[in-house]
Structure formats: structure tokens, C-alpha cells
Amino acid sequence: MEFIASLPFWDVIENVATKPWLLLALFALMTYFSEDMACIGAGIAAAKGWIPLPAAVVACGVGIWTGDVFLYLSGRFAQRTGARWKWLRKMVTPTRVARGKSFYDTYGSFWLFLSRFAPGVRLPSYIAAGYVGWSFKKFAFWLLIAVTLWAPFLVGGSYWAGEKVFHYLSFYEKWAWPILIALILALLLIVKVLLPSFTWRGRRLLLSSFYRIRRWEFWPIWAVYPPVFLAVLWQALKYRHLTPFTASNPSIPQSGIAMESKGLILDLFTSPHPEKMRVAQYLRLEENEDLKTRQSAVESWMAHSQLDYPIVMKPDLGERGKGVKVIRHQAALNEWLHAFHGESIAQEFIGGLEFGLHWSKSPSEAKGQIRSLSQKVPQFLTGDGTSTLEELILNDPRAVMMAPYYLEKYGEQLSSVLPSKKRFSLVEIGTHARGAVFTDERDLLTLSLAETVEAFSSKLVESNGIGFGRYDLKVPSLKDLQQGKGLVILEMNGVTGEPAHIYQPGYSYFRGMWDLCSHWNRACKIGAEYHSKGSPTTPLRAILHTLKQHRSHSWLEADDLDYG
């Protein structure tokens, strides 16, 4: 008891020891300053017989619960009055608040419960819950559950162990996080690996995860791009300019890093020989026009262009195929327009084979270069009369790699059995992220194809200064492709339009990195030449701002709808 007796508050406790109700109130108030010290003191006071143990637990529990509720309310107050505090507005942006709200809506109950047992995170977690406006009822309920476990543990521990509990608490605070992390990892291993391995479906999904880790074509951008960042940095040193690539397409904002309008790029195109290479007919729809106005505009455009269903609808600022839908009837069009309100494009549906063709030309070159040609092959399955759609997806050696996406997309159809030899299209658009397979078709390049692309693209260079990009196009057949005729452009991507052939299954990581770095090296070279002729580049700060916008942009209200 020597350590306890030396504490500054112990004299006060001894003085009121004859008044249990006052002592309980004191311990409850002490939790506002030090929860752990108050609980330990209450347990020792109960061991001395000054207060009943159950009353000590309740007093400390009430003090902890009300103190944490105060933290939540402090966060709520700061949110409502934060507009007056300039420093707070800079730190807590609407984007961060939205992310925080999403986090608490998804993991709030678990995190709140965990934080009660994890030193160092209680105060910021509770204030943040209030600031983002997480449900007070949920906060109060899960906090009550956690406190109901924590207060008896700490008060009871000190009741039975006395001053030794300080040693145990010190050990706990030192090792709490490693132990919690180990427990979480063990739990994830059990839930994500061990339990699924007992079922065929689980084993196939584990195989899907293994394939996606093993094959770099499925890696996230942060895992793929480090060598590219180094290559671009080298080019920046070489040309003594931080962002030379942003001048490679002077007529496209930032040369197509992100957030560029597909429609505005298509507006720049002209077709000198439309029978050989042209742009698919399209209509741009403005943001926030009312539903009837947009419906009428699409219908009038279809009639004027002599088009019938199907057509294609896509966000004007879309990416990776998000929101792109093949619309086959009026009801599906109305549903898409009702779901998506941003700037969008209605486009002629083009059948045939889809390719990604990368062309570039610097001002000093007499002719441009086709450095990549890739076919984009949509995924389909063939029924056998006995297997369900889910079984076909999980059994297919390629489809299983995209199984999580397909199983979510076709959730209501998974139990249906496909008739024998019946084909089921998993994806209709040539987007890798949606399941299309990219193949390296550079062997199909011919002089006729190169001449057609050169005639079309040179006009872009002369009139608009577009010298670097990947055409996404369709063509009736391989023969037409090699003869350089019947090419129809769906859209063009600027500097971020990667050479798609590198994503062919089995393509070497090192070859892919070499080709990808060469892609950015050439963008820097062409941009540096345009810059030397007066074309402006984009400052790094502006690029980072664009990427931030891109990351937080709500691509899609319409992404997961089924348009039949």
C-alpha cells in the first residue's frame, strides 16, 4: 500500500471513506481525468471495505460511459461550429468527413468496441464518431457493452490483486496492440482462409485470390507503378522539367492524366476517309439536365442518326468501364438516365472485334509510330445443361480470377442452370477491370493499317496538337483490320492510355515494366518537344489536385445496375 498511499488523491479518499456515497461519486468523477487510476483506486477501496465492490464497478462504469459520451458530443459540437474555425476547415475537409462517415457506417460498431481495449485511440475515435455524425444510439449502445466488460475487469482486478494491478496494467498497455493485432490476424486467417477451405466454393475463391496475387496484370496501381515513377523522374532530370509528359497532347487538359472529357476529345476528331477510319456517332449530355430533356435528346439523336437499339451509354468522365452499359431498349435507357445525372455520352453501338491501338508522333518526326496493338476479348461461358452459373464461373480457369466481381454482379442469376451449348456473356465491353482479356496482337500490324492510322492521326497533330494516345476502336474482322478499313473509334485515352498488350496473360512482368516505362519515356520526349515550341506544361501541384479529384469523384450512381 506504500505506492497507493503516496498518490496525491489518496488522502482525499481516506477522508471521505466513512461516506460511501461520496466516495463513489468521487471515483466516478475521477474517471474523467484518469479512467485506469480511478478504477484501480475503486477496487482497492472496495478491498478495504469502504465501498461495496458492485457499487464501485457501477460508479466507475457510469463515469467512463458519461465521459466518453461527452467526447462524442464534443465532436458533434465541433462539427456544427467548425465553420467558424479556419484551421479546422483546412484539416477536416468534406472529403475526409465523407470517408470517415463511410468508415463508421461500415466498421463503427467493431472499431468502437475494440478501441475501449486499445490504449491511445479512445479520445480521437470518440470525437471523430461525433464529428462525422455517426449514430448516437449506436455509439451509446456499443460503448455501454464495452464499458460493461472493461469496468468489472479493471475494478475487480484491483480488488483481488491490490497494487499488483499497476504492474499488470503497465504490461497490458505495453503489449495490448501487438496482442490485439495478432488476434485480428489470426481471426482473419481463420475466417478468410481456414473456414473457406472446407467448401468447394471457398477453395475456388481462395484460388482466385492466389491467381490475382500471382499474376501482375491484376495488381493495383500502387504495386505496378514504382518503376514507372522512377523512369518519369529520370526523364524529368533529363529534360530539366518536372512534368514534360503533360504537354504531349496540347489540346487535351494535362494531356489526359485524369478527369478529361471523352466527348471533348471526340469533338476534335475529323475523318478524312470515313470508310477507313471514323468516330462512332455520339451525343454529349450535359450535367443535371432533367430526365425528360435527356430522354428527348437521346431519342432525337437516334432518329436523326438513323440508329436503333442497342446503343451505349457512358459517363463522360468515366474510367475502367465504370457505368458503361449497352442499352437494348427504352426502359433500360430511362433507368440509366435516372440513375446517372453527370455529364454523359450516348454512342452508337458498334459490333465486331475490339482493339486498343497506341499511336504517337513527335513534332520532329515525319511519321508517327504504332507501338501497341491489343485485342480486347470479352469473357463468355458455355452452358452444359447441368452446372449453375456460379459453378461455371468458379470452374472456368479465367473467369475464376474475376469471381468476386462476377458473383456480385450476377448474384440473382447464380443458381440458374445454362442449357447445353448456351453462351452467357460475362462482359460486353473491352475493359480489363470488368473481365475482358487483353492479348498482344502486334504481329497483326500491316503497312495498310499503319497508313490508315497515320492519315487520320496526322490531321489531329496538324490541327489540334494531339500526338500521344491510345485509340479504343472496333473493326468488323481481322482481315479489315489488316487492310486498314472499317476502323471505328469509340474513344481516345491520353498519356494514361497504357499499351494494353502488356496485360496479355503470361506477359512477363519485366517486359511489361520495360514497355510501360518506354511508354512514359516517349510521352516525356514528345511533351518536351511541344513545350520547347511554346506548349505549356502542368505544374505538379495541379496534377496532384486533379488526381485527388479523380480519387474522390463519384463515378457512378449507375455502375451496378443491370440494364438488360
pLDDT at 531 > cutoff 80: yes
What local confidence, expressed as pLDDT, does residue 554 receive? 47
> What are the backbone dihedrals phi and psi of residue 483, each rounded to the nearest 5 degrees, phi first?
-85, -5
Please measure the distance between the N-terminal and C-terminal CA atoms of the chain and give it in whole angstroms. Answer: 76
235 to 242, 289, 375, 470, 533: CA distances (angstroms): 8, 44, 30, 21, 18
Q: Exposed, middle or buried by CB within 10 Å (0-12, 13-18, 19+), for 143? A: buried
200 to 17, 51, 192: CA distances (angstroms): 65, 59, 14
Q: Are 453 and 357 contacting, i.e. CB atoms less than 8 angstroms apart?
A: yes
What local confidence, expressed as pLDDT, does residue 103 receive? 77
CB atoms within 10 A of CB 410: 16
141 to 19, 68, 342: CA distances (angstroms): 32, 12, 40
Q: What is the DSSP string of 19-84?
A: -HHHHHHHHHHHTTT-HHHHHHHHHHHHHTTSS-HHHHHHHHHHHHHHHHHHHHHHHHHHHHHGGG
pTM summary value: 0.69
How does pLDDT run across 476-487, given as a tens digit for each residue?
Answer: 999 999 999 999
Measure the CA–CA gap between 21 and 44, rounded to whole angstroms. 16
CB atoms within 10 A of CB 19: 13
What confidence tier does 561 reach under pLDDT thresholds 50, 70, 90?
A: very low
pLDDT at 512 > cutoff 90: yes
How does pLDDT run across 334-358, given as a tens digit for each residue?
Answer: 889 888 888 899 999 999 999 999 9
Percentage of the chain beyond pLDDT 70 is 84
How does pLDDT run across 105-161, given as a tens digit for each residue?
Answer: 777 777 777 777 666 667 788 888 888 888 888 888 888 888 888 888 878 877 776
What local confidence, expressed as pLDDT, does residue 478 receive? 95
What confidence tier does 187 reach under pLDDT thresholds 50, 70, 90?
A: low
What local confidence, expressed as pLDDT, does residue 218 receive? 87
pLDDT at 5 > cutoff 50: no
What confidence tier does 41 reach under pLDDT thresholds 50, 70, 90?
A: confident
Q: Which three cell numbers stand for residue 210?
A: 492466389
Stretch 217-239: mean pLDDT, rounded? Answer: 91
Per-position b or e across 185-213, b if 16+ CB within 10 A of its CB = eeeeeeeeeeebeeeeeeebbeebbebbe
Q: Exposed, middle or buried by CB within 10 Å (0-12, 13-18, 19+), for 131? A: buried
Q: Are 354 and 430 contacting, i.e. CB atoms less than 8 angstroms apart?
A: yes
Q: Pick 96 or 40 by higher pLDDT.
A: 40
Domains contained in the chain, CATH given: 2-187 (no CATH), 225-375+436-552 (3.30.470), 380-423 (no CATH)
Q: Which three cell numbers stand for residue 223?
A: 504495386
Strands 325-327, 344-348: parallel, antiparallel or unpaired by DSSP?
unpaired
Stretch 161-169: mean pLDDT, rounded? Answer: 56
What local confidence, expressed as pLDDT, does residue 555 receive? 45
